[in-house]
Amino acid sequence: MPDVLGPYEGESLVGTAMRTKSARIEFWDAGVIAVEPDQPGDKDVIFSCAVHGDETAPIEIVRDMITDILADNLAVTHRTLFLIANPAAIVNGTRFIDVNMNRLFSGAHVQGDTPEHRRAAKLEQYVSRFFKQQRRYHYDLHTAIRDSAHEKFAVYPFTHGGPYKKEQLTFLAECGVDTILLNQAPTTTFSYYSVREHNADAFTVELGKVRPFGENDMSRFTDADTMFRKLISTSELDLPKFDSNRHHVYDVSRSIDRTAEDFRLNFADNVANFTEFELGHLLAVDGENEYTVEQPGERIIFPNAKVALGQRALLTVVPMPVENLKLV
């Protein structure tokens, strides 16, 4: 078996395939690797990483899974597609080359012609080509820019009124992802694309804070790594019974956009995601407008005062009792 993930000189694997003991490995494109087991189970599973090129830990998790598959140390029993979404940004060591790729799915890529627009269009095609069976899963793996009061959390894309799945909440909790952020509107993220276009169970999974390659403490990802491997290598996961006490659920309360040149956030740059402020606390000043905490338990997430005019500078979220969710 050649060392396909190590240094190689000039020889591209794109368009080629190779075998392990129990599967065919196809290299569809740079960073697009499909594993077709000889006797596939009934799940189709996608792991994507590097939609943001500097989010290194998920790349290392995916790299290690692929390495173990090629070395016959991980026997895959379900069809699996690995997507290393933005190789150019990884090489560049940046979040993206021209634009944030996670705003370009569900067709939004037609509105431009940057490397990210073109790649997002291709990634959609690969997802469409891959998903064949009824049971479809897509975990889009990220790390956050800042610290988080809940280190690991997942965005549950808009369900259009459909129920939330206990099995998926439990799977995520077993991965160490005990916090769920509900998205209450269509978006142009990769995970929402797979939900909407392919009826997959799909999530944007935030696994911790961004660090440079080699500086990630991989022990912090052990639970996620273990569950990802089990998902693709065992016929049926043996998950514990759903327990509502395991999950913190938040609903988006407000999206605060920057509309004025004179915009500032009234808290320190290093304040963690999911930090709670007192009722009445001034959060942001946008020109003449002041935004204060309006609801008990309201917390901030994804603050960025430097966004372009008209873009979202801050989200606030409020806790939602798990009992209030429509669950199946």
Sign of the C-alpha dihedral, residues 174, 176, 182, 183?
Answer: negative
Distances (CA, A) of 220 to 169, 217, 270: 19, 6, 21
Residue of 60, 206, 261, 323 with catalytic role: 206
Q: Which two tokens stand for residue 163?
A: 């129920």
Q: In terms of CB distance, is 55 or 174 closer to Zn ion?
A: 55
Least Å distance between CB 55 and Zn ion? 5
The tokens 């290194």 sit on which residue? 56
Least Å distance between CB 169 and Zn ion? 21
Contact 262, 194 (CB under 8 A): no
Least Å distance between CB 54 and Zn ion? 9
Q: Among the residues of the chain, which ranges form H helices?
A: 56-70, 87-92, 115-130, 166-174, 190-198, 222-233
Least Å distance between CB 52 and Zn ion? 4
Length of the chain measured in residues: 328
Q: Please list the helix, strand and coil fractions of the chain in percent, rounded to the nearest 5, in that order.
A: 25, 30, 45
- How far apart are the two ends of the chain, measured CA to CA in Å? 44
Please give the residue whose beta carbon sits closest to Zn ion in the complex.
142
Contact 300, 277 (CB under 8 A): yes
| 3-state secondary structure (DSSP) of residue 102 | helix
- Between CA 70 and CA 89 the distance in angstroms is 25
Q: In terms of CB distance, is 99 or 239 closer to Zn ion?
A: 99
Least Å distance between CB 325 and Zn ion? 25
Q: Is 36 a catalytic residue?
A: no
Q: In terms of CB distance, is 78 or 142 closer to Zn ion?
A: 142
Least Å distance between CB 84 and Zn ion? 14
Q: In which region does residue 91 sit, left (phi positive, over 0), alpha (psi from -120 to 50) or beta (all else)?
A: alpha
The tokens 């996620």 sit on which residue? 224
Q: In terms of CB distance, is 95 or 247 closer to Zn ion?
A: 95
- Between CA 102 and CA 210 the distance in angstroms is 16
Least Å distance between CB 158 and Zn ion? 18
- Between CA 131 and CA 297 the distance in angstroms is 40
Q: In terms of CB distance, is 60 or 276 closer to Zn ion?
A: 60
Q: In terms of CB distance, is 101 or 231 closer to Zn ion?
A: 101
Binding site residues, Zn ion, CB under 5 A: 52, 55, 142
Q: In terms of CB distance, is 43 or 95 closer to Zn ion?
A: 95
Name the nearest CA neighbour of 269 among 147, 143, 142, 96. Answer: 147
Q: In which region does residue 132 sit, left (phi positive, over 0), alpha (psi from -120 to 50) or beta (all else)?
A: alpha
Catalytic site positions: 206
